[in-house]
Structure 1
Amino acid sequence: MTDSHTTNALRLLQVADDFRAGLSGEFSAVHGISVNEFLLMLHLERSAANKLSRVDLAKRMHVSASTITRMAAPMEKIGLVDRELDERDARLVFVVATDTGRKKLSEALSTFSKRAGYLFGDRWEDEEVDQFASMLRRLIAGTGDTLA
């Protein structure tokens, strides 16, 4: 028998996986991007300078810098992101969203918001959603979260 902490953590992972799976099909079919590409662009959008180095993106997305390179290359080819050299250190390259990428992100955010509404709206009252939001803020406190 598992304890309640383990059970709740497993439920949290299951809900996150189910939500991601639902988004994956819609993002791909409607917007032509993956959930990870959406998250990469969202991190860029929410960063202080609207640009991040590969290493900083990797840290925020909990992947390796080489994964970011592999993700960004096709995004660059279709015009969603671009590279920007650091003025003081040519070895440092930033990933920055293009106008096309920002437009795509805005459209995908609308889809994300709609999906989130379905996730919570048909099951919970507004007060319950507010309570859950408060608990989630406590859960992610100190993690360096930059998206919510």
Structure 2
Amino acid sequence: MYDQSNVFAKILRGEIPAFKVYEDDRALSFMDAMPQSDGHTLVIPKVEARNFFDIDPAALADLIKATQHVARGVQQAFDPDGMRIIQFNEPAAGQTVFHIHFHIIPCYEGAKLRGHGRDWADKEVLAQHAEKVRAAIASLPPRH
């Protein structure tokens, strides 16, 4: 069951601020407030869906296209050695916000990832990271 009071629904409604990096009529992307690495970004659909199994296939296709587009921007902005693209379903799998979303997590050689959902990032750092990603996305070809 979808809960309209989840934090991502509140971000979509403008009730909670977020460090946004990309938005179109179907998806929104913003910096993770508790990042596992520098550049950790989230991508969410603008439809109500709890997880991978609840989302309409067409909306899921739009979401993965937006995720790829944003991931290219994160890659350009942070030049990581690798990248994790992760999506969790239900608490046993690690889902903590029950609005489907993809994590884009840059990985750096020799650097351990911080714990998932553990420590709040400095807002000034998040703002700087968001600006880097926005600039990188702006330099990419438009998403179709």
TM-score relative to the length of structure 2: 0.32
The structure with the largest alpha-carbon Rg is 1
Select the structure with the greater relative contact order (CA < 8 A; seq sep ≥ 6).
2
Structure with greater proportional helix content: 1
Structure with greater proportional strand content: 2
